[in-house]
Structure 1
Amino acid sequence: MGFSPTTELLIILLTAGTVSALPLACLPSQPVQAVEGGSATLQCRLDPPIDLSSKTVDWNRGLTRQVHVYRSRRDDPDSQMLQYRDRTTLNHGDLTRGVSTLTISNVSLSDNGSYEVYLPQLEVTCLTHLTVVTKEQENQTKRTDSSTTSPPAGERNDASNREVVLAIIPTVLLILCVLVVLLVLKNRKTRDGWRRSEEDRDVGE
């Protein structure tokens, strides 16, 4: 049974409307930690993915502090805060996959905080967080991690002592075996000597 052109057009429109009505979510990356002077990569992705290469993509801090602006298929540094000028890079290749990836170089403690991706044409917002630590804090964290994962000095010494003992045991056992064999041979030789002496005595009598 066929449909009239009008009915087919209505079905297409209803189907398109249903697809476009699917809920659109923006999923942030896990909170990012970076070391002062290094770089940090922040990311948000759409689910389901939508090509963002022709959309406006704003990375902001708060409502008016623009970290990076992408419009009309290119970056717009004139709209960027001076604090982030020449320090941000937006991955244009990821935009086609519905992913907005921003790298901030030479991060400082003032870069700490929440960052927002705003897609005005889609009316979608995504939040992620950046924590910047000093090199001293990172080293302290590494020392703490190493102290919790490695055994205490006393335990390390005990383990070393056990290894030495285990290494000596085979040698000691070998020496004991040799001594036992020598004692057995000596006792046998002594008994043989006694036996010959007795035999000689009996012959003499």
Structure 2
Amino acid sequence: MEERVCIFLLVLFFSHQVVSGNHHVSCPTPPIEAEEGDVAELQCRLDPSVDLRKETLDFTRADINKEVVHAYRHEKDQTDPQMDQYRDRTTLIHEDLIRGIISLNISSLNLTDSGLYTCYVPDLEASCTMNVTVVRKKDEFTTTRPPVTENTESEKPGAEENKRVGAIVGVGLFLFALVLIILRVLVKRRNLWMKKKQEAEKTPNISEMEKLETTSTEGDEELQKTLQETS
């Protein structure tokens, strides 16, 4: 709590408009908040507005020994005095300078970019400070995933395993019933075949019966002829 109060007082102190003549620089009072990987837009305004293209402009870290974040000299951006942390990540919007607006964009933000940034116009001895806070990027998966209630099956221990075991048991019972049906059909067909075989063995062959009848008829005729001759 004390640290937040100190930071707030420090911001108020640096945000106090330092006036040189009739000009002063103002910065936004609320903290600038952005997510990791995004772009932070820092903007200061000169009042009354004048063309700043020929002025010397500096953005520094007030909380890190006033290290240079971005420098503008002789109508050009200067990279030599810039902190290594900000190389190739800062962009000064030159088109805004003609309207007395100092706009600096910091890209590819990371958590170490959080801190106090001072916008300074040396020739006018005017400056102001703003607070930048970089927060962790929100996880899209966790923010969009629907909440899981206590009654959902997924929260019950071993729910998936129970489903898997139930499926295996169901398949096993189905296969067992199928095997019983097949065995029953095979036994029934075997019994039917045995019954037909037994019936076939008990019934005389038709051709044999015809042969016996023919032999019997011929024997009767021979016996009758013999009896006639003897008489």
* TM-score between the two structures when normalised by the length of structure 2: 0.49
- In structure 2, what is the equivalent of residue 94 of structure 1? 96
SS in 2 for 1:83: helix
Matches of 2:126 and 2:141, distance apart in 1: 39
Matches of 1:139 and 1:71, distance apart in 2: 46
Q: 1:139 to 1:70 in 2, by over 3 A?
A: farther
Q: 1:65 to 1:91 in 2, by over 3 A?
A: same
Counterpart code for 1:134: R
Q: 1:133 to 1:21 in 2, by over 3 A?
A: closer
How far 1:64 moved relative to its partner? 3.4
Gaps of 5+ in 2: 1-19, 145-231
How far 1:139 moved relative to its partner? 9.4
How far 1:137 moved relative to its partner? 8.2
- In structure 2, what is the equivalent of residue 111 of structure 1? 113
Q: Is the 8 A contact 1:35 1:138 kept in 2?
A: no
- In structure 2, what is the equivalent of residue 28 of structure 1? 27
1:5-84 aligned at under 5 Å gives the runs 21-22=21-22, 24-29=23-28, 30-62=30-62, 63-84=65-86
Matches of 2:60 and 2:134, distance apart in 1: 17
- In structure 1, what is the equivalent of residue 165 of structure 2? none
Task: Tell me the percent identity.
Answer: 46
How far 1:25 moved relative to its partner? 2.0
Counterpart code for 2:82: Q
Q: 1:138 to 1:74 in 2, by over 3 A?
A: farther
CA-to-aligned-CA distance 1:141-195 (integer Å, 9 cap, x gap): x89xxxxxxxxxxxxxxxxxxxxxxxxxxxxxxxxxxxxxxxxxxxxxxxxxxxx
Q: Is the 8 A contact 1:114 1:129 kept in 2?
A: yes
Counterpart code for 2:105: T
- In structure 1, what is the equivalent of residue 197 of structure 2? none
Q: 1:139 to 1:108 in 2, by over 3 A?
A: farther
Query: Which of structures 1 and 2 has the bigger CA Rg?
Result: 2
C-alpha RMSD over aligned residues? 2.2
1:55-204 aligned at under 5 Å gives the runs 55-62=55-62, 63-136=65-138
Q: 1:53 to 1:79 in 2, by over 3 A?
A: same
CA-to-aligned-CA distance 1:19-40 (integer Å, 9 cap, x gap): x943x22111242111001111
Matches of 1:137 and 1:101, distance apart in 2: 30
Q: Deviation above 6 Å: which 4+ runs of structure 1?
A: 137-140
Matches of 1:67 and 1:139, distance apart in 2: 35
Q: Is the 8 A contact 1:26 1:44 kept in 2?
A: yes
* TM-score between the two structures when normalised by the length of structure 1: 0.55
Counterpart code for 1:44: C
Matches of 1:67 and 1:114, distance apart in 2: 11
Q: Is the 8 A contact 2:26 2:127 kept in 1?
A: no
SS in 1 for 2:45: strand
